[in-house]
């Protein structure tokens, strides 16, 4: 699953009033800003340095470009602010929502994303990190977040939508197994309805950072919800499967049928949504989703 080119603004594109208020929170005038790749938000994502040497990570988005991205930024601010100190996530330094801009100011993690194709040592480090994360956020420390089942019900109905109006370019194997795929996706949704852990729900290599001391951190929390403790590890295995590497070590301890069912549901989501018009301000996401569908399909064909 390759990452497409992003369309995103940078620190210097933000209104002066937004930059000034951000600098007040950080504690100094920003003299350097470096936009970061990864993700699909049309907003900014900059590592900044002030004249006094302070560092921070600034994310800013306006609903004028994409209302949904602004809603997700608000959700991320609420979730990240409530994280316990022992969770392997960046700390919130501050933020604001003035109605025109939603701005998050986070601890700057000096690190790099795991390599893809995935390598064994970093797969193992990610599994360890996700186990530590689950232990730190069970039960969920954030009140009022949705359940994973509620979050995913629409997405996991992808095969149902395809069955109702099969696209002409649907893979012949998928077209011939829609009944089995729909049943698997329904079981996957039921499995996601269990548990009391705060799950990230969007684990990919570009949402993980390896610090210089070797510890891995989980970043970008707009999709946080309550679900089973194994859910993020399953998503990690899916990312390894899609980008290259052995996912079997990640799936250890998770029921094999559940792994197949959840991945079948995600495959249906990708198969359906990649054929839809792109959302405002995010023109590259459909190519990413199509690549995901293409990468998962051969594995799924062997498992069903």
Question: What is the Rg, in whole angstroms, of the alpha carbon atoms belonging to the chain?
Answer: 19
- Asked whether residue 249 carries a pLDDT value surpassing 50, the answer given is yes
Burial (0-12, 13-18, 19+ Cβ within 10 Å), 37: exposed
Instruction: Give the pLDDT score at 232.
Output: 98
- CATH number for region 11-106: 3.30.200.20
pLDDT band at 48 (very low <50, low <70, confident <90, very high): very high
- Structure pTM? 0.92
Region 192-204: mean pLDDT is 97
Instruction: Give the pLDDT score at 2.
Output: 33
Query: Smallest Cα–Cα separation from 188: which of 134, 149, 239?
Result: 149
pLDDT band at 40 (very low <50, low <70, confident <90, very high): low
DSSP letters, 161-202, are HHHHS--TT--HHHHHTHHHHHHHHHHHHHHHT---EEE-S-
pLDDT band at 282 (very low <50, low <70, confident <90, very high): confident
Region 16-24: mean pLDDT is 98
Whether residue 28 contacts residue 52, with contact meaning beta carbons closer than 8 Å, is answered with yes
Instruction: Give the pLDDT score at 280.
Output: 77
SS3 258: helix
SS3 296: helix
- Asked whether residue 292 carries a pLDDT value surpassing 50, the answer given is yes
Distance CA 176, CA 179 (A): 8
CATH domain 111-303 topology? Aminoglycoside 3'-phosphotransferase; Chain: A, domain 2 (3.90.1200)
pLDDT band at 303 (very low <50, low <70, confident <90, very high): very high
pLDDT band at 38 (very low <50, low <70, confident <90, very high): low
- Asked whether residue 14 carries a pLDDT value surpassing 90, the answer given is yes
Instruction: Give the pLDDT score at 7.
Output: 61
Region 278-301: mean pLDDT is 88
Region 151-157: mean pLDDT is 97
Region 26-34: mean pLDDT is 97
pLDDT band at 5 (very low <50, low <70, confident <90, very high): very low
pLDDT band at 193 (very low <50, low <70, confident <90, very high): very high
pLDDT > 90: percent of the chain: 88
- Asked whether residue 65 carries a pLDDT value surpassing 90, the answer given is no
pLDDT > 70: percent of the chain: 97
Mean pLDDT (the chain) is: 94
SS3 92: strand
Query: Which stretch of 60-69, 196-205, 266-275 has the lowest confidence by average pLDDT?
Result: 60-69
In tens, the pLDDT along 74-115 reads 999 999 999 999 999 999 999 999 999 999 999 999 999 999
Q: How far is CA 234 from CA 135, 240, 248, 262, in A?
A: 16, 10, 10, 8
Q: Where are the domains of the chain?
A: 11-106, 111-303
Instruction: Give the pLDDT score at 4.
Output: 39
């Amino acid at each position: 699953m390759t990452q497409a080119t992003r369309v995103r603004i940078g620190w210097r594109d933000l209104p002066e009033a937004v930059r000034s208020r951000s600098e007040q929170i950080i504690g100094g005038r920003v003299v350097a800003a470096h936009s970061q790749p990864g993700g699909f938000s049309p907003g900014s994502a900059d590592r900044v340095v002030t004249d006094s040497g302070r560092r921070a990570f600034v994310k800013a988005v306006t609903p004028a470009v994409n209302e949904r991205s602004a809603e997700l930024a608000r959700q991320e601010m609420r979730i990240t602010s409530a994280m316990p100190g022992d969770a392997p996530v960046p700390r919130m330094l501050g933020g604001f929502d003035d109605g025109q801009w939603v701005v998050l100011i986070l601890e700057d993690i000096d690190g790099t994303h795991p390599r893809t194709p995935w390598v064994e040592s970093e797969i193992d480090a990610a599994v360890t990190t996700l186990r530590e994360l689950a232990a730190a956020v069970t039960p969920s420390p954030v009140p009022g977040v949705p359940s994973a089942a509620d979050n995913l019900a629409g997405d996991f109905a992808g095969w149902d939508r395809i069955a109702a109006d099969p696209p002409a370019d649907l893979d012949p194997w998928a077209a011939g197994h829609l009944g089995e795929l729909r049943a698997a996706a329904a079981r996957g949704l039921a499995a996601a309805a269990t548990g009391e852990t705060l799950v990230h729900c969007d684990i990919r290599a570009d949402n993980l950072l390896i610090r210089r001391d070797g510890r891995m951190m989980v970043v970008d929390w707009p999709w946080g919800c309550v679900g089973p403790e194994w859910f993020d590890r399953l998503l990690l295995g899916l990312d390894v499967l899609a980008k290259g590497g052995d996912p079997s070590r990640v799936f250890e301890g998770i029921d094999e049928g559940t792994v197949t069912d959840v991945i079948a549901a995600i495959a249906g989501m990708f198969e359906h949504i990649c054929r839809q018009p792109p959302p405002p301000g995010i023109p590259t996401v459909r190519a990413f989703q199509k690549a995901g569908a293409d990468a998962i399909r051969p594995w799924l064909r062997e498992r069903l």
